[in-house]
Amino acid sequence: MLPFYIYYSMFGFQRVGDLIWAAADQRARGFLLGATAGRTTLGGEGLQHQDGSSHVYAATIPNCRAYDPAFACELALIVDHGIRCMIEKSEDVFYYITVMNENYSQPSLPAGAADAVLKGMYRLTSTATRRGDSQVRLLGSGAILREVIAAAQLLTDDWQVSADIWSVTSFTELARDARYVERWNRLHPQERRRLSYIGECLAGDAPVVAATDYVRAYPDLVASFVDARYRSLGTDGFGRSDNRASLRRFFEVDRQHIAVAALYALAEAGSVAHDVVAAAIEKYALDGDLAAPWTC
């Protein structure tokens, strides 16, 4: 039997992290389910209940497989995979999976995406009319993936900018694979160079914008392994008591801020004028003079 332990995600690695390390040292197996995950899903209870860091902590434990799925189809695959690894293959690993408490439509998994979900990311959809024509790549995970999807629509409708949308189920697994590949290349200099999975997914020079419900250090786990211009948005700072939409606006991870970040990345690359970015900031009523959310 495999244990399942479900709790507010804030009460996981932050509160009992030493016990989790002890379990890892003892080669424990099982599932930790961090519920009401992220910094903006449990809005009514303030900073004591809002988790923005647990995935960063989880990434430091070698035998912890950490995932932040957005959809039920992703979650089902991850749980099934974990059971097979721990029971059938007798692997001494345990799984940390963050889950949300929001009600939203649950799409079917795109055909052929099952392995990609387990590796850490898959191409969900695109607003480009032809594959490969997208001007920017948008990455989202967990609670913020739907904001990323909405941001892609804003870019298309308001600014005629096309975007690929990637669901990232685990920045941790992506970074782990990339480090393995980087190490192999370094120690085999005369062999044909290998390419990491994220390197394969994000080949090319179209800018990348990643947004999550966690601090920016989480999506930045993979920043050094992406050759294209890479910009991240996250929920750095203390928790706040407010509704979800207000919290996502405050932490600058809502659809409007993601769209502006994408336009700015394109402006940095010389693909759009900076005047377009300024127009978007005005259109979406963003106040650039507000204090950064991570300041007290």
On whether the CB atoms of residues 68 and 172 are closer than 8 A, the answer is no
217 and 158 in a common domain: yes
268 and 139 in a common domain: yes
Closest CA to 55 of 97, 115, 100: 97
199 and 170 in a common domain: yes
Closest CA to 122 of 55, 20, 202: 202
166 and 31 in a common domain: no
Summarised one tens digit per residue, pLDDT across range 140-153 is: 999 999 999 999 99
Q: Give, as one character, the DSSP assignment of residue 269.
A: T
On whether the CB atoms of residues 50 and 40 are closer than 8 A, the answer is yes
292 domain residue, yes or no: no
65 domain residue, yes or no: yes
Q: What is the C-alpha separation between 196 and 199, in angstroms, rounded? A: 5
291 domain residue, yes or no: no
Give the pLDDT band of residue 276 (cuts 50, 70, 90). very high
Q: Give, as one character, the DSSP assignment of residue 88.
A: I
Residues 6+ apart with CB under 8 A from 174: 119, 120, 121, 168, 196, 197, 198, 221, 222, 225
On whether the CB atoms of residues 74 and 109 are closer than 8 A, the answer is yes
Residue 263 tokens, joined: 């336009």
Residue 1 tokens, joined: 């039997």
159 and 197 in a common domain: yes
Residue 209: pLDDT above 90?
yes
Residue 22: pLDDT above 80?
yes
CATH number of the domain that 241 lies in?
Answer: 3.40.50.920
14 domain residue, yes or no: yes
Residue 267: pLDDT above 90?
yes
227 domain residue, yes or no: yes
On whether the CB atoms of residues 228 and 137 are closer than 8 A, the answer is yes
Overall average pLDDT of the 64-86 stretch? 97
Overall average pLDDT of the 56-61 stretch? 94
Helix, strand, or coil (residue 66): strand
Residue 225: pLDDT above 70?
yes
Average pLDDT for the chain: 93
Summarised one tens digit per residue, pLDDT across range 25-37 is: 999 999 999 998 9
106 domain residue, yes or no: no
Residue 47: pLDDT above 80?
no
232 and 148 in a common domain: yes
Bridge pairing between strands 136-140 and 163-168: parallel
138 and 90 in a common domain: no
209 and 70 in a common domain: no
Residue 135: pLDDT above 90?
yes
172 domain residue, yes or no: yes
Which stretches within the chain are classed as H helix? 13-25, 54-58, 72-83, 114-119, 145-159, 171-187, 197-201, 244-250, 255-268, 274-283
pTM score of the predicted model: 0.95
Q: Specify which of 6-20, 230-244, 276-290 reaches the highest per-range mean pLDDT.
A: 276-290
264 and 186 in a common domain: yes
Give the pLDDT band of residue 102 (cuts 50, 70, 90). confident
On whether the CB atoms of residues 137 and 206 are closer than 8 A, the answer is yes
Structural domain count of the chain: 2
Handedness of CA 286, 288, 290, 291 (dihedral sign): positive
CATH number of the domain that 29 lies in?
Answer: 3.40.50.970
The residues that bridge with 187 in the sheet, in sequence order, are: none
Bridge pairing between strands 121-126 and 94-98: unpaired
193 and 272 in a common domain: yes
Closest CA to 67 of 210, 77, 215: 77
Domain residues for the domain of 60 are 4-98
Give the pLDDT band of residue 284 (cuts 50, 70, 90). very high
Helix, strand, or coil (residue 152): helix
